[in-house]
Amino acid sequence: MKKIIGIGNALVDVLVQINDDSMLTALQLPKGGMTPINDERMRELHLHMKALHPHRATGGCASNTMLALANLGVTPGFIGKIGRDETGSFFAETFKQLGIQTQLSLCDTPSGVANTFISADGERTFGTYLGAAAQMRPEEITPDMFHGYNLLYIEGYLILNRELIEKICRTAKEEGLTLCIDLGSYNLAQTLRPLFLHLLEEYIDIVFANEEECAALTEEADAKEGMRRIAQLCNLTIVKLGSKGAMAMWGASSDKYGTEAYTPTSKVKVVDTTGAGDFFSGGFLYGFCKGASLEQCLKMGDLVATNVIQVIGTRLSDKTWENIRSSIKELY
């Protein structure tokens, strides 16, 4: 089986449930969005969250995907940066217990925290303090980081540092890895569209996007047409459609160009959508690395995602993971 390593922001999620969205308005946090915050704003958010009994879990797009893969029974790697603090220790220890092979550099800046407000409809809103996670530098990226791996999963938020993401892509490509990116958020795909398109044309083999990100990147309102546009630039495109399911298409650089697949989503009660897209990617990539068909990969992604949206955060019970692994075996 192909070996996967992820690179991205090493964050710890601090999650609270809110009964209505008035708190988001008061805190000037756009619902469903990711708002970068500084130290002062983080202290303000924590004062509001304290009385709501916050829950803590590891977070970040790429780290969530590696978390899912580890629980599916493979041994992924992860590259990131944490602070010399209890928050960073929590992140590192959690990944160590799961057997994820981490390459975590340290700095004196506090570790990154994603303050997450979960609305009654399951939508999550982030006030994110990147902290140490944003201190990763291009000169820290070396070829040996990628030795022994076949696929690199890149968190789209790293595009905020162009020199860093260019160095990551160039170095991993030179080492012969397949490069996979998740676009991260619709506002990133919209405001940094030219850079994303450049990366897709030059380096990226596999793209994960949700419906809004796909529309922002391609300027196509129809998700299927948007997927086809992206597929002209890479080997494989996956578009997550939320409650409508997910679809995928082999791209122009593949000998299967034009082959498409779709799966509906399982209908479950949504508690918290945190990590849903990341866990979907983990399930999909598990199937991809096992040689499963596109339809089977989509079904595996949906299976993992629909389980995580039924709990707060990204921590599923051992029994749930056991059930997921058993169900996946029945899919191929």
Mean pLDDT value of segment 244-260? 93
Sign of the alpha-carbon torsion through 206, 208, 212, 216: negative
The 8 Å CB, 24+ separation contacts for 263-266 are 263/295, 263/298, 263/299, 263/302, 264/302, 265/241, 265/302, 265/305, 265/306, 266/302, 266/303, 266/306
Confidence bin at 106 (pLDDT 50/70/90): very high
Asked whether residue 209 carries a pLDDT value surpassing 90, the answer given is yes
Class of domain 4-329: alpha beta
Asked whether residue 26 carries a pLDDT value surpassing 80, the answer given is yes
pLDDT at 239: 98
Asked whether residue 137 carries a pLDDT value surpassing 90, the answer given is yes
pLDDT digits (tens, 9 = 90+) for 46-67: 898 998 989 899 989 999 999 9
Confidence bin at 18 (pLDDT 50/70/90): very high
pLDDT at 275: 86
Confidence bin at 299 (pLDDT 50/70/90): very high
> How many H helices and E strands in the chain?
12, 14
| Rounded alpha-carbon distances, angstroms, from residue 185 to 27, 107, 172, 213, 242 | 21, 27, 23, 6, 14
Mean pLDDT value of segment 64-78? 96
Mean pLDDT value of segment 202-220? 96
pLDDT digits (tens, 9 = 90+) for 276-287: 999 999 999 999
Interstrand relation of 34-36 and 124-129 (parallel, antiparallel or unpaired): parallel
Question: What rounded mean pLDDT belongs to the chain?
Answer: 94
Cα 266 to chain center, whole Å? Answer: 20
Rounded distance between C-alpha atoms, residue 39 and residue 181, angstroms? 29
Mean pLDDT value of segment 256-274? 90
CA angle 132, 137, 143 (to 5 degrees): 120
